Amino acid sequence: MKKLKQEKEIKEISNYKYGFNEGELSSLSVGKGLNEQIIRDISKIKQEPEWMLNFRLESLNKFEGMSQPNFGPDLNFIDFQDYYYYTRATDKVVDSWEQLPDNIKKTYDRLGIPEAEKNFFMGINAQWDATPVYEQLRQEVSDLGVVFTDCDTALKNYPEIFKKYFGTLVPSTDNKYAALNSAVWSGGTFIYVPKGVKVERPLQAYFRINYQQAGQFERTLIIVEDDAELHYVEGCTAPIYSKNNLHAAIVEIFVGKRSHVRYTTVQNWSDNVLNLVTKRSLVEEDGRMEWVDGNIGSKINMKYPSCILKGDRAQGDTISIAVAKKGVYQDAGSKMIHLGKETKSKIVSKSITFQGGTANYRGLAFIGKDAINSKARVECDTLILDNQSHSDTIPQNKVHNNESQIEHEATVSKVSEEQLFYLMSRGISEQEALELIVMGFLEPFTKELPLEYAVELNQLIKMDMEGSVG
């Protein structure tokens, strides 16, 4: 019996490419649990200004008075005293991979991060549990006045601009997990792109949860001034543990006039991670915000990237996928809030469920009374591979003027016997045929990814689908 259990565990781990563990590593931890003293300890370790400590304590107070979300999966099982809210793997952030501790270096080597930096990215920020461990920005980008660092450093080195924007788009009163993040946040990414600067290749951040029962609560704060461009890519993985990890991040993005920002996420958490994230952008006149959002893994994933289209002719786009197998509950979507005149938005959502997984689309298209001549389009497509899996489409579409329009289209389908028979009649196995159909279904999403990520994503989904036939 013990041998069979071990074989099962080995098979489960092998199906998740990034479930390896080079060993837990922590030079400092504030201990398990959440209370005022923990918050004070975190702020003291970071040597933060008094206003930030007060912000954290106020956020904790708000968190304690808030209920769990009244939609989506039931989260009442979460014991907030059962997590480590601050662990530090190293005492400093380095700018050379060779300076990292061996455990961290081996992990990032196996994840392919140094190679990606060398061949593709203009800068990279790597975070391990609660703190950043590595940062690098190419000199030609730095010379343009671009700032790319972690939020802890930004608080110290760029206090005026940090305080001006921090917490203004996602206040701690927004939801329970925004309040939690605001109380215990650490690390994350800060990017400032000056007026007229176009960053030609992406900047990347890579988030790794490695400590069992650790929480990761990074902040991402991106300010792109007028007439500028940025593509930011974010990757996420974690080892497989028997107990849950908690990830509750906040992303705030400010898109200037005539600027263009693309935020690409390839989230590939292990199936013991609770991923409860708030992402929001504010788009000024003639600006454009694009969310390219890939969701694979997580025990529970609740994430709805949002655009507030404040300026006239502002645009917002979200294209996302959610892949759910046994033990995975994806509740994801997007929100488009039209405030300016002649604004446009488009949401394209692709979901796949198999082996008893759940993948729901939940979204909002809102056109305000002053957003005349605006257009919103929502497309939700779900592919269900068996009779045990589940998917719902839960849209909210609201128009408050008579000169705008919303289009909504939703489909739920199964793989047809005719499709499988046609492919198998040409010498393709049933499993390979199913994978081809799935990859074709996801093609609108994968074509938006950098080539390296598209290839990797296809491999990850194929591994997830092993054994889905029969």
**pTM as predicted:** 0.86
Question: Would you list the DSSP string of 419-462?
Answer: HHHHHHTTT--HHHHHHHHHHHHHHHHHTTS-HHHHHHHHHHHH
Closest C-alpha to 349, from 391, 296, 410, 288: 410
CA neighbours closer than 13 Å in the CB half-sphere of residue 417? 0
**pLDDT tens-place string over residues 329-373:** 999 999 999 999 999 999 999 999 989 999 999 999 999 999 999
pLDDT classification of 125: cutoffs 50, 70, 90: low
Among 37, 38, 64, 40, which Cα is nearest to 52's? 40
Amino acid at 8: K
pLDDT per residue as tens digits for the range 263-276: 998 887 778 889 99
Q: Is the pLDDT of residue 14 over 60?
A: no
Query: What is the average pLDDT score of the chain?
Result: 84
Please write the tens of the pLDDT for every residue from 133-167.
Answer: 555 666 777 889 999 988 999 999 999 999 999 99
Does residue 175 have a pLDDT over 60?
A: yes
How far apart, in Å, are the Cα atoms of 399 and each of 274, 337, 343, 346?
A: 34, 10, 13, 15
Q: Where are the domains of the chain?
A: 17-303, 417-470
**pLDDT higher for 457 or 344?**
344
pLDDT score of 67 more than 90? yes
> Is residue 438 over pLDDT 90?
no
- Asked whether residue 215 carries a pLDDT value surpassing 90, the answer given is no
Strand ranges (E), 161-286:
188-193, 203-208, 215-216, 219-224, 229-237, 245-247, 250-255, 260-269, 273-276, 278-283
Q: How far apart are CA 390 and CA 396, in angstroms?
A: 20
DSSP assignment string, 33-52: S-SHHHHHHHHHHHT--HHH
Model pLDDT for residues 263-314, shown as the tens digit of each residue: 998 887 778 889 999 999 999 999 999 999 999 888 999 999 999 999 999 9
Task: Yes or no: say if 392 and 359 are a contact pair by the CB < 8 Å rule.
Answer: no
The confidence score (pLDDT) of residue 467 equals 60
| Average pLDDT over every residue of 118-134 | 56
